[in-house]
């Protein structure tokens, strides 16, 4: 083996395959002065490159249309239109006629266009910046003769390991699951949305590898271990064999876990926990329903719009929500209104913001765009006729937002009533507790909402002021910080005192050690990724809630996350909790471990 790179385990599973290195970045372009006689040839080069880019885009569009649908393919239609813009072409040709090389001429015009679009007052125009960037990269790559990194070029059945800096929405919709077996990115963390999407797609993924794109070459092969967060480049035949054995063992252990799907998540001392599942893509609902989860604790609806240039209308959304409702008939289904913003932006982006996580995100955007919000609310009220739908509001910081949202919900119901469309008006409304503000004033919500859902990914981010998507801060992103635990405990206490249900739908619920702490803090509803349902259920069935409560309450009084982790390990071991079950999804490997792990496997 040449080397192993350690990253963040983002989506479980092990694969071995050829590396597909994708550098989807605007390349650097040198200024090249051309002689007068070279101008006609340079114009030909430009026209030829643009024609080839168009040809390729048509192929991508057709392929995405066949595989995913016309709506998702519309991104590429928009990009084709850019390449057909006669004014833009005339500007580029002008630069060439002024003795500038074709690639620099193209680059200058695209940079200028992107800046102009990004500053435009109309959101519709601003949204086109992402398309311009894709076109910019595509044409320059052809003009500069760079290796063709187009994801669509991976042959079916290649089982390739995609290595890229970050996944953009337009790249994501192009991913061919029959060609790409795993994803490795320089950027990202477990809770960044690339990771969430990879888990939904069922593709093993390692993120936060920092410089993987610099360290692999196109001709390399790699083992990608999404369970432990490793990318091993050019493994030896023995290492590949070892990893195959491990992959088989993992699959066997998954199969064993699935046998638990009919069992109850009951602790040894009889405390019943409700285990629900998080759904990001409606198409995943049927498979997720087989996991043994008792409903959906969080459906993230923003994935309906990511990777698209337009917003889904009411009917399309209704159909998407119905799919989930039908798959989980009889169980509660919590559907969250759009959490657009942060690192979840539709194609082309919304206004460029210096601090998107502190910006125009989630409920803020929805309240400012009432048409868009009411369209979603109407679709939800219609879907609620067919099942036990609950509506969840993201990123709430004050009761005023809840009241404004409720007014829009009532308006949406009135609109449906006027149109004579079947709907349910009395859908339970809940709020995400994912900001310190919401947790501190959680008592003010109790008369206005039916449930709280703790979004610990953001709660940790905002409480500790640590960007959840920053690979350099992964070790500091510590959900066991007493400040986080105290905010959770406060929410649980307020919920219990006022009869408001409290659930956790952030990543803390899916990780064994933190799931145990949550139960210890009094949380009785957990919503986890589909692949964690069996694992967390097995864990719950192996512990006493009383011991967890003692350990969690002690943690509240400690002075830092390291002290909490050490104290918990000691107490859980003392209470007879199987450390193998706790360690399962929380690997903390040192570089030495990586090598020994590779040697052992
Ligand atoms: C969270 O913040 O914990 C959460 C569940 O929401 P998201 O990860 O979509 O921000
Ligand atoms: Mg959140």
CA 486 / ligand 1 centre spacing (Å): 19
Catalytic residues: 193, 505
Which ligand has an atom closest to residue 340 CA? 1
Q: Is the overall model pTM greater than 0.75, yes or no? A: yes
- Nearest residue CA, atom 9 of ligand 1? 300
φ and ψ of 225, to 5 deg? -110, 95
- Tell me the ligand closest to 343's alpha carbon: 1
pLDDT in tens, 37-81: 999 999 999 999 999 999 988 988 887 777 667 766 777 888 899
pLDDT digits (tens, 9 = 90+) for 8-25: 888 888 999 999 988 777
* More confident position, 387 or 166: 387
Please give all residues whose beta carbon lies within 6 A of any atom in ligand 1, as ranges: 191, 298, 300, 339, 434, 455-458, 505-506
pLDDT score for 63? 77
15 vs 555: CA distance, rounded Å: 38
Residues 193-207: what's their mean pLDDT?
Answer: 80
What's the per-residue H, E or C state across 60-77? Answer: HHHHHHHHCCHHHHHHHH
What is the model's pLDDT at position 149? 57
Do 174 and 151 contact (CB within 8 A), yes or no? yes
Q: Does the pLDDT of residue 495 top 50, yes or no?
A: yes
Residues 578-590 as b/e (b if ≥16 CB within 10 A, e otherwise) read: eeebbebbeeebe
Q: What string of DSSP letters covers 587-601?
A: ----HHHHHHHHHH-
| Nearest atom (ligand 1) to Cα of 508 | 3
Least confident of 41-50, 223-232, 582-591: 582-591
Instruction: Region of 202 please: left (phi>0), alpha (psi -120 to 50) or beta.
Output: left
């Amino acid at each position: 083996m040449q080397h192993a790179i350690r990253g963040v385990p983002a989506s479980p599973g092990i694969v071995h395959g050829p590396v597909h290195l994708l550098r989807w970045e605007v390349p650097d372009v040198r200024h090249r002065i051309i002689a007068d006689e070279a101008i006609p040839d340079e114009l030909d080069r430009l026209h030829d490159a643009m024609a080839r880019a168009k040809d390729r885009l048509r192929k991508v569009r057709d392929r995405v249309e066949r595989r995913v649908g016309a709506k998702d393919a519309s991104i590429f239609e928009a990009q084709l239109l850019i390449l057909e813009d006669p004014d833009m072409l005339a500007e580029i040709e002008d630069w060439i006629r002024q003795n500038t090389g074709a690639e620099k001429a193209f680059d200058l015009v695209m940079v200028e266009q992107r800046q102009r679009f990004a500053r435009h007052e109309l959101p519709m125009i601003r949204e086109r910046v992402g398309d311009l960037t894709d076109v910019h990269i595509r044409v320059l790559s052809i003009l500069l003769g760079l290796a063709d990194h187009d994801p669509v070029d991976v042959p079916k059945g290649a089982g390739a390991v995609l290595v890229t800096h970050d996944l953009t929405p337009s790249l994501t919709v192009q991913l061919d699951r029959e060609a790409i077996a795993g994803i490795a990115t320089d950027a990202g963390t477990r809770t960044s949305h690339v990771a969430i999407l990879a888990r939904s797609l069922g593709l093993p993924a390692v993120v936060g590898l920092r410089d993987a794109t610099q360290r692999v070459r196109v001709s390399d092969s790699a083992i990608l271990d999404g369970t432990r967060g490793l990318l091993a480049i050019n493994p030896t035949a023995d290492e590949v064999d070892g990893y195959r054995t491990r992959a088989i063992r993992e699959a066997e252990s998954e199969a064993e876990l699935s046998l638990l799907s009919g069992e109850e998540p009951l602790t040894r001392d009889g405390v019943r926990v409700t285990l629900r599942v998080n759904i990001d893509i409606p198409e995943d609902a049927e498979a997720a329903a087989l996991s043994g989860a008792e409903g959906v604790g969080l459906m993230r609806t923003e994935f309906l719009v990511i990777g698209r240039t337009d917003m889904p209308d009411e009917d399309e959304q209704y159909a998407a929500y119905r799919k989930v409702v039908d798959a989980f008939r009889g169980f509660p289904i919590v559907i969250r209104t759009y959490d657009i913003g942060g690192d979840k932006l539709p194609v082309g982006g919304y206004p460029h913001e210096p601090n998107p996580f502190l910006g125009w995100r989630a409920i803020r955007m929805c309240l400012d765009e009432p048409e868009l919000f009411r369209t979603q609310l109407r679709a939800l009220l219609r879907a609620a006729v067919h099942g036990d739908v609950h509506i969840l509001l993201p990123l709430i910081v004050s009761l005023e937002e809840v009241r404004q949202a409720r007014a829009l919900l009532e308006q949406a119901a009135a609109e449906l009533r006027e149109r004579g469309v079947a709907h349910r008006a009395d859908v339970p409304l809940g709020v995400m507790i994912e900001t310190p503000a919401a947790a501190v004033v959680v008592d003010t919500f109790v008369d206005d909402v039916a449930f709280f859902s703790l979004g610990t990914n953001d709660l940790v981010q905002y409480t500790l002021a640590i960007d959840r998507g920053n690979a350099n801060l992964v070790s500091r992103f510590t959900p066991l910080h007493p400040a986080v635990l105290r905010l959770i405990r406060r929410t649980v206490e307020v919920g219990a005192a006022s009869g408001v249900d409290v659930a956790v739908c952030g990543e803390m619920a899916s990780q064994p050690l933190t799931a145990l702490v949550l139960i210890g803090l009094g949380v009785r509803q957990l919503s986890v990724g589909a692949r964690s349902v069996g694992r967390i259920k097995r864990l719950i069935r192996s512990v006493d809630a009383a011991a967890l409560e003692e350990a969690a309450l002690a943690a509240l009084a400690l002075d830092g996350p390291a002290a909490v982790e050490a104290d918990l390990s000691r107490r859980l071991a003392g209470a007879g909790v199987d450390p193998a079950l706790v360690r399962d999804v929380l690997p903390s490997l040192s570089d030495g471990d990586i090598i020994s792990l590779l040697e052992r496997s």
